[in-house]
Structure 1
């Protein structure tokens, strides 16, 4: 799969960096290279630029766009009355001033909640956006990595997501601005049947550290991306994912050191709370 290229506006001076990651363990120094030596890397703002604004809000998504992310990553769930909303947890407790399960609340009830003040008073009044609002606001401005969050809880959520994308003409062949992913791999199979022209990805946690080539080949029969926790990413895993014909977007980088390590492992994209960390490609000193 052809990788997207992030174009940077200015050259970076040669800077040495030594951390506690893979390079440091091997006693090596990693350096930031100049613009001319930069290699392609896809920058995915995790739940928006969630290091700078409350996750999964319009403010966080707008910040991701302003910071030149290639994609914003969003989490989609369904309300009691069948409406698609963008929120990470299956309850509203952590990121709003309300309580209860997303699936037990109506859209009207969820929309009345404050989804910003927990992060900062500056974001007081931010609401939980609907999926349709996010599509309407950011279509054509940035790529959207859509995670189907706990789809096993929401009968028909794959169809509703597909209908929303089709209605906005965002399901066309070769539309590399929309990717759909989930930890529920059966849900991704279903989504791929509904939206065969869109790219799909499988999310995996730490239990997939020893994923086999046969398992990767099975994933590749319906997915274009293998997106694991960054904790299990190794040179061998990246190579095997590429051999299977998929790209790899690990999650979730929250420090410059973590981003540098993922660069060094030659992943295709980085899912990060801080898009500014995905700036250039580091190389090992010879």
Structure 2
């Protein structure tokens, strides 16, 4: 989030209070096979104190807990995040090694109705689909290429998240008619928001949900 340390329990709470209808978070696997919520492959960019460096896949859960993030937050486990977030959650699989374990967690906790597993890595999503047809999947891509659209069909994916600059109403409408939810990203400026709305998307990915809701309300008012 733009207003809170990213991928933390505090940021998920803030996003919910600021009106986000869904929370997007990232998951990787520690060296001792714990599902950890972090975007980057290393802790270096987001760490502000304590342990300041290290590759997530080479650190234990205990070592990762030595990393202090902004506002005194720590790296959460996926279990903890799903335990506190009550909105829809899009779990982006950053590390393919985490795919099956994340799938098992969602199934074990019977969260498939409000948790979607997403990824740029189609192979990771295919592994999840082989595990269960009950899990909702989302394909992420910068540009909706023929390969990305084929993956949506082959995986029976529930959603496609693509760069708003590469979406248009015709493609969005075609996907929606097939029952696929379309998400535009990123939305950091009013221009990017307008671009996503012009493409007819169902959702946008924004770092500041309160700002996004405010601009949506303003744009809706301008159209009246």
TM-score (norm 2): 0.88
Q: Which runs of 5+ in 2 are unaligned?
A: none
* CA distance in 2 between partners of 1:265 and 1:203 (Å): 17
SS in structure 1 of the partner of residue 183 of structure 2: coil
* CA distance in 1 between partners of 2:95 and 2:170 (Å): 30
- How many residues align? The count is 216
Larger helix proportion of the pair: 2
* CA distance in 2 between partners of 1:164 and 1:242 (Å): 29
Q: Which runs of 5+ in 1 are unaligned?
A: 1-49, 117-122
The reply to whether residue 195 of structure 1 matches residue 132 of structure 2 is: yes
- Work out which of the residue numbers 27, 34, 38 in structure 2 matches 1:83: 34
Give the 3 Å change call, closer, same or farther, for CA 130–215 of structure 1 in structure 2.
closer
The runs of at least 4 consecutive aligned structure 1 residues that moved more than 3 Å come to: 278-285
Larger strand proportion of the pair: 2
- Root-mean-square deviation over aligned CA pairs: 2.2
The worse-fitting range, judged by mean Cα deviation, of 275-284 and 195-204 is: 275-284
Q: Kindly name which structure, 1 or 2, has the bigger radius of gyration based on alpha carbons.
A: 1
* CA distance in 2 between partners of 1:77 and 1:200 (Å): 17
SS in structure 1 of the partner of residue 181 of structure 2: coil
- Work out which of the residue numbers 92, 96, 105 in structure 2 matches 1:147: 92
The worse-fitting range, judged by mean Cα deviation, of 177-186 and 260-269 is: 260-269
Structure with the larger RCO, 1 or 2 (CA within 8 Å, 6+ apart):
1
Tell me the residue number matched to 1:228.
162
5 Å-filtered alignment, 1:212-223, equals 212=146, 216-222=149-155, 223=157
Give the 3 Å change call, closer, same or farther, for CA 149–215 of structure 1 in structure 2.
closer
Tell me the residue number matched to 1:120.
none
SS in structure 2 of the partner of residue 252 of structure 1: strand
Is the CA contact 1:85–1:130 (under 8 Å) kept in the aligned structure 2? yes
* CA distance in 1 between partners of 2:161 and 2:90 (Å): 11
Tell me the residue number matched to 1:258.
192
Give the 3 Å change call, closer, same or farther, for CA 145–127 of structure 1 in structure 2.
same
TM-score (norm 1): 0.70
